[in-house]
Structure 1
């Protein structure tokens, strides 16, 4: 029996490695883009439509991008007669629903650029969920006028 033990351990290990995570990607991202900003701008924005086709809510806890020192989720809200940007600690995508991160509403704030970023480049943004999932989403840098040309969809 001892000669079969190493084989059994290998088979169990290989089976668990091939099984992968308990669930496949739980969110779908569409139309990810960032408006081009002047090279000296301390921040850029990120916009994307996020769909949760699953049967359970998914909570995004963090976003990061190697081209920026910090990435935050912000919401624009009317408060005390003024529009204010309010940092969100997380973003819940309800089961079966879609949320748009769009100009004038919820959006990503890409802060402390590590280099000059130009139109036509792609920013690699990684979203982390409360369940420990990491989802990489490419954001295309487009001219500011993309907003009028359909860069924003609901």
Structure 2
């Protein structure tokens, strides 16, 4: 188990095969906890960080985003952008992108078909958003007049494709 801490610049932090804690600090950071149940620290002033957490060999690993002091659920907006889940901290430019969060690699994915998931978000007040809450709360993308691909979630979705030759996946 390791604790990795970034600087005020743009850092790349890569964890080990165990449970790690990663804190990119300020700057736009790239974070990968590696195998095992990892904790990612994020808050106001953290910048625009990206997580690619690939637990392909560790089914059942519980990864957690732990939000900083004073951040309440009503200060976080969840957005789905393609296969990625984005947590935006309201009234700031701080955001955390979890690459491939919506990808289900299926039965051909060695041990863990949901290998890119960070399974929960934990708030300082004890509120916990699990994977189901994250998936259902992530707002649907907004179409443009161009060609768009729009992905739904497990809720009852309503799409408005607008112009262009859109692909709607629900």
Asked if these proteins are the same fold (TM beyond 0.5), I'd say no
Q: TM-score, normalised by structure 1?
A: 0.25
The structure with the largest helix share of the pair is 1
Q: TM-score, normalised by structure 2?
A: 0.24
